[in-house]
Structure 1
Amino acid sequence: MNLTAKTSLVAIYLVFLLSPSRGEVYTALTDVEPLLETHLMITEILEDYIEYEEKRLEVLKSHLKVYQKEHEKAMEDIPNYLGNPINAFTLIKRLTTDITFMGKIIEAGIDYARNTTILKPHPDMKYPTLEDLTGAAQALTRLQETYHLDVKDLAQGILNGVVYSTSMNSDDCFELGRVLYNEKDYNNSVSWMLMALEKYPNNDELYSFTDVDIIEYISFTYFLLDDVRSALYWTQKLLALDPDHERARGNIPHYTKALMERENKLSKKRRGDTGEPELDATLEQEKEKEKEEKPEPSQYEKERKVYEALCRGEMEIPVDVAKRLKCRYLTENHPFLRLAPIKMEYVYVDPDIIVFHEVMSDDEIYEIMMIAKPRFRRATVHDPKTGELVPAHYRISKSAWLRDEDAPEVRAVSRRVADFTGLSLATAEELQVVNYGLGGHYEPHFDFARKQENAFENFHGNRIATVLFYMSDVAQGGATVFTELGLSVFPRRGAAVFWLNLHPSGEGDLATRHAACPVLRGSKWVSNKWIHQGGQELIKPCDLQYQSEGFIRTLPRPLLKKSFR
């Protein structure tokens, strides 16, 4: 490819990048992998262009070095590289905002590139969108909050004390802070802006922003967080760097007035009804009083704390449950099991949560993955009002549905499910294969449909049971957690988790509420087989008992390994 053609491609791809498209690269790691090809092709294009104008385009050369270094590291171990959320974020950033900035530099020196005929984008190149960049930024903050990760460690490429990637530069931190600011996530935005300022400048790199820009974000974000004192402090620092900054000069009197009004209001409140100051009324006491007056946490907030503690492995199941757990070989349900018994482990009792080990082979996993990949679509959930399947921010993954007729491996897995569960698959759903995205997760939910929900109308009855296959190991995170039981089950390739969703009466078992924790590092592949009531009449007959004696109201509460932080 000659220089003119390659230069034209740069302009074409930049136009293509900014064209409207649905951004869902971040929702499955399998979709991030093709970005490395784009990453490499962009590197080659930039390399040729820089050779043509070495002196004038030193800034592009510095970007090339970053591209090359990261690509070489990625090619050493692609799954682990892409499984690191920091690498995935920076990869998407390189191909969104970074490439836009580079395009402006190119256009400034090459007028003929603007007049080149617009050709079709290269079919082998796949670009993320700004929506993907936002998704990757939100994934990083989700991991940060769930696993109590320090911003400084993340910026250095450290996850839970281990260095997994190259450190982020000031530009990376600034872009992350800017994206979070636009999403109104001000607490996390200001943390990353402060980190961007700490790292600025870095090796005299040329940035599209200055330290004044960073401080302006910091000061106004503090104001939006109702921290007027900090907003005033940072605005004064901004004016020290740029005395003619118009917005900062206008904000100083506004912040000063707001701060004085707040101090006067607090002073009057401390004086009480008599108008005389109380000797023992201090600012610290006022703050303590405000803490005491905070409303009781909502049910969602309480569950969220339990969910995050379980994701971190900070909870233990009660002793009286633990002492009843056991492992054994399953030999009943089917004559074949007498020849090839299956290892089964009870990880909870009443309700019984069972892990069946080594029930999906490596060959089956590979074939099922290959069949599922081209069919992947954004994972959806049932809208409780309409019953329709819709995407949701609390479920970040892509999935595909496979029928038994699609491949011998799918049929074999279905037969095995029938063998080790002892249930009929006559009305079971197709095998759902799922690959989680950056920080991929699925917040607490039930697998069964409640009475008020219009779901499973086309199936024979509710979901009586769930079989969840783990098709990959996960280096960190990605546990399946049961928030009412205090149980965490971590992925183990080839294993399957099984539980009943319904009581014998057919009522939903609220104790089976569960969630998929965010993937901290690695790629999480699972597949689900949901079994319905139809066909189980003689296998699992109903009774008149509304719920079992071990229902959630009498469940012993889980124990914390560590206190909530």
Structure 2
Amino acid sequence: MNHKHTIYLICIALVVDWVWTCAELFTAISDMEQLLVTHKKIIDDLDDYIQREEKRLGVLKKQLNMYRSEHEIAMSDVDNYLGNPINAFTLIKRLTIDLEFIENVIKLSTEYVRNETAKGTKVRYPTEVDLTGAAQALTRLQNTYRLDIRELAQGILNGVVYSTPMSASDCYELGRTLYIVDDYSNSLRWMQEALRKYKEDEFHNLSEVDILEYISYLHYLLDDGQTALEWTTKILSLDPNNQHALNNIPFYLKSVTEKKKILEMENADDDDEDETYLERDTRMYETLCRGEMELPSQIVRNLKCSYLTKNHPFLKLAPIKMEQIYIEPDVFLYHEVMSDEEIKHIKNMARPRFKRATVVNTMGEGTPSDSRIAKFAWLKDEESGVVARVSQRVADFTGLSTTYAETLQVVNYGIGGHYVPHYDSELKSDMPYKAAFDRRLATVIFYMSDVAQGGATVFLELGLSVLPVKNAALFWMNLHPSGEVDIAMRHAGCPVLRGSKWICNKWIHQLGQELLAPCNLEYQPEEVLRKIIKAKPKVQV
């Protein structure tokens, strides 16, 4: 009900009262005194209405100031602002959850607000799916790089302040979103941070009980009924009639009883389970992403840098800087093999074609997966002289034929973008749909951007981490000369912590290499391919 309706109803009430008593009012002062009561009621009602309106407008002004302040900061350095995972999440939240709150406050329909702003040609609204993706990306970074939640909530990444602090509402919505996708552990941590910030923030669009209800129930979902009961007590101290809390108490009590029985059984069995393969794999992956492994001295002392002058006559006039970063299996980094102008051209070609990155399933079909979060596009040599020139350059510095190579794949990894450990060349047992004689022989990754933090290419079996170097290309062989997959070349793309990672991939196939890289007649079974000298953790100083 708006203020016009309120005043109209007040006036109607006055008219009705006046019609009923007008013939008698002048006959006695005592009757006239009743008008003063009515007069005071109008004053009180109007005063209450104005206070509520001022409070409502105050809320909108605070939201406006927050939007305006964040926008000014963003426009001062767009790339760095959007390259921050905290800013990415809060921006999407502002245009989803917060926008809905504003619409409710001003009592206008969603269609009106969105239609008014949608008159601009470039207006685009994120969805709940985008909010969920941003929340999961932030959590992925938090887990991989061991980020402290309290620092994240303050806009701090690895000790450096990159953004404005998150509000209690921001932390709450992040926790709520993670709860929806069943990430209860991280959801609980963000809800606890929301509660801490709730007591610090001056403005709230949620209640303390809202946060406590999640904290209590999340403890229950994490099999801690006793703590859930303790938080329920806090809820009832603030809201004694809270039905959610009252209804959940029996379930929490049952959980406590069952937990005692389980603990008794566990105490009777002292055998500890060993770390699973998946846990070891994840631990190594995250350790390499953080750059906490160092190569063995046996490898490092034999690494070389040189100018590449063979493979093509032109290289004698314009040699390429070649850095060897691993030996047996050989991994090379070729520096300054793509110019800034070529990078700009390829990016501009790829952007309009971008679609969600996929992985190949057992049927040989590309399908979206959380194991690969990025966008990609394919560029053919015949579409552009620049693309053709890059493909020719691959042949020049690898010494391999690109006649049957795949078209150039351009990839952009945004906030939290990653690619889990995988092989570029399929194992025969995994990919029966594809001819075994034409798998991906070699991989070339062109780095088209530097990455402020994160985004390394890591090789789990080698203990090798390679940070993106703009204008450079990473090269390795996926297969042994026998044609068997080199299991040491399982690699991954680490999550982008801050910034944007642009790469393009060129996969060189076996076909066309008959004279350039002939097969070795000796069969090499995969289980005894090579004994790798293991990397070791860096010494903490």
Short-chain TM bin: 0.7 to 0.9
Given the alignment of the two structures, is residue 226 of structure 1 paired with residue 223 of structure 2, yes or no?
yes
Match of 1:204 in 2: 202
- Say if 1:503 and 1:546, in contact at 8 Å, map to a contact too: no
Specify the code of the residue in structure 1 equivalent to 2:198. Y
- Say if 2:451 and 2:496, in contact at 8 Å, map to a contact too: yes
Name the CA distance, whole Å, in 2 between partners of 1:465 and 1:203: 55
Q: 1:359 to 1:511 in 2, by over 3 A?
A: same
Given the alignment of the two structures, is residue 340 of structure 1 paired with residue 334 of structure 2, yes or no?
no
Question: Match for 1:328 among 300, 303, 306?
Answer: 306
1:221-300 to structure 2, matched below 5 A, reads 221-260=218-257, 262-263=259-260, 266=263, 286=267, 293-300=271-278
* Structure 2 SS opposite 1:199: helix
Match of 1:139 in 2: 137
Match of 1:492 in 2: 469
Specify the code of the residue in structure 2 equivalent to 1:66. M
Match of 2:24 in 1: none
Name the CA distance, whole Å, in 2 between partners of 1:111 and 1:222: 37
1:134-533 to structure 2, matched below 5 A, reads 134-207=132-205, 209-260=206-257, 262-263=259-260, 266=263, 286=267, 293-383=271-361, 385-454=362-431, 457=434, 461-533=438-510
1:450 shift after superposition: 1.4
* Structure 1 SS opposite 2:442: strand
1:250 shift after superposition: 2.9
1:62 shift after superposition: 1.3
Match of 1:3 in 2: none
Q: 1:200 to 1:504 in 2, by over 3 A?
A: same
- Greater mean alpha carbon deviation, residues 63-72 or residues 481-490: 63-72
Question: Match for 2:519 among 535, 542, 561?
Answer: 542
Q: 1:261 to 1:401 in 2, by over 3 A?
A: closer
1:293 shift after superposition: 3.3
Match of 1:106 in 2: 106
Q: Of the two, which has the highest radius of gyration? A: 2
- Greater mean alpha carbon deviation, residues 195-204 or residues 313-322: 195-204
Specify the code of the residue in structure 2 equivalent to 1:64. L
- Say if 1:427 and 1:459, in contact at 8 Å, map to a contact too: no
* Structure 2 SS opposite 1:400: strand
Name the CA distance, whole Å, in 1 between partners of 2:363 and 2:510: 22
1:24-39 to structure 2, matched below 5 A, reads none
- Say if 1:459 and 1:532, in contact at 8 Å, map to a contact too: no
* Structure 2 SS opposite 1:423: coil
1:323 shift after superposition: 1.6
Name the CA distance, whole Å, in 2 between partners of 1:323 and 1:215: 57
Name the CA distance, whole Å, in 2 between partners of 1:437 and 1:78: 14
Structure of greater relative contact order (alpha carbons < 8 Å, 6+ residues apart): 1
Name the CA distance, whole Å, in 2 between partners of 1:461 and 1:79: 41
1:477 shift after superposition: 0.4
Q: 1:481 to 1:67 in 2, by over 3 A?
A: same
* Structure 2 SS opposite 1:57: helix
CA displacement, residues 41-76 of structure 1 (integer Å, 9 cap, x when unaligned): xxxxxxxxxxxx877432222111111111111111
Match of 1:37 in 2: none
Normalised to the residue count of structure 1, the TM-score between the two structures is 0.82
Name the CA distance, whole Å, in 2 between partners of 1:259 and 1:511: 47
CA RMSD of aligned residues (A): 2.6
1:111-130 to structure 2, matched below 5 A, reads 123-130=121-128
- Say if 2:444 and 2:476, in contact at 8 Å, map to a contact too: yes
CA displacement, residues 293-350 of structure 1 (integer Å, 9 cap, x when unaligned): 3422222211111100000001111221112111111000011101110010110011
- Say if 1:156 and 1:168, in contact at 8 Å, map to a contact too: yes
Normalised to the residue count of structure 2, the TM-score between the two structures is 0.85
Name the CA distance, whole Å, in 1 between partners of 2:54 and 2:219: 42
1:223 shift after superposition: 0.2
Specify the code of the residue in structure 1 equivalent to 2:281. E
- Say if 1:157 and 1:168, in contact at 8 Å, map to a contact too: yes
Specify the code of the residue in structure 1 equivalent to 2:335. H
Q: 1:163 to 1:455 in 2, by over 3 A?
A: farther
Match of 1:90 in 2: 90
1:545 shift after superposition: 2.2
* Structure 1 SS opposite 2:462: coil
CA displacement, residues 341-361 of structure 1 (integer Å, 9 cap, x when unaligned): 001011001110000001011
Name the CA distance, whole Å, in 1 between partners of 2:113 and 2:410: 47
1:374 shift after superposition: 0.5
- % identical equivalent positions: 56
Match of 1:19 in 2: none
- Say if 1:464 and 1:531, in contact at 8 Å, map to a contact too: yes
1:269 shift after superposition: 5.9
1:556 shift after superposition: 1.3
1:262 shift after superposition: 4.0
Specify the code of the residue in structure 1 equivalent to 2:429. Q
1:25-64 to structure 2, matched below 5 A, reads 56-64=56-64
- Greater mean alpha carbon deviation, residues 312-321 or residues 530-539: 312-321
Q: 1:414 to 1:550 in 2, by over 3 A?
A: farther
Specify the code of the residue in structure 2 equivalent to 1:381. V
Match of 2:65 in 1: 65
Structure 2 unaligned regions, length at least 5: 1-52
- Say if 2:307 and 2:321, in contact at 8 Å, map to a contact too: yes
Match of 1:78 in 2: 78
Specify the code of the residue in structure 1 equivalent to 2:106. I
* Structure 2 SS opposite 1:554: coil
1:247 shift after superposition: 2.1
- Say if 2:223 and 2:259, in contact at 8 Å, map to a contact too: no
Specify the code of the residue in structure 2 equivalent to 1:196. A
1:201 shift after superposition: 4.5
Specify the code of the residue in structure 1 equivalent to 2:123. M
1:449 shift after superposition: 1.5
Q: 1:115 to 1:193 in 2, by over 3 A?
A: closer
* Structure 2 SS opposite 1:99: helix
1:203 shift after superposition: 4.3
Match of 2:35 in 1: none
Aligned residues: 488
Name the CA distance, whole Å, in 2 between partners of 1:112 and 1:524: 36
1:258 shift after superposition: 3.7
Name the CA distance, whole Å, in 2 between partners of 1:56 and 1:249: 33
* Structure 2 SS opposite 1:141: helix
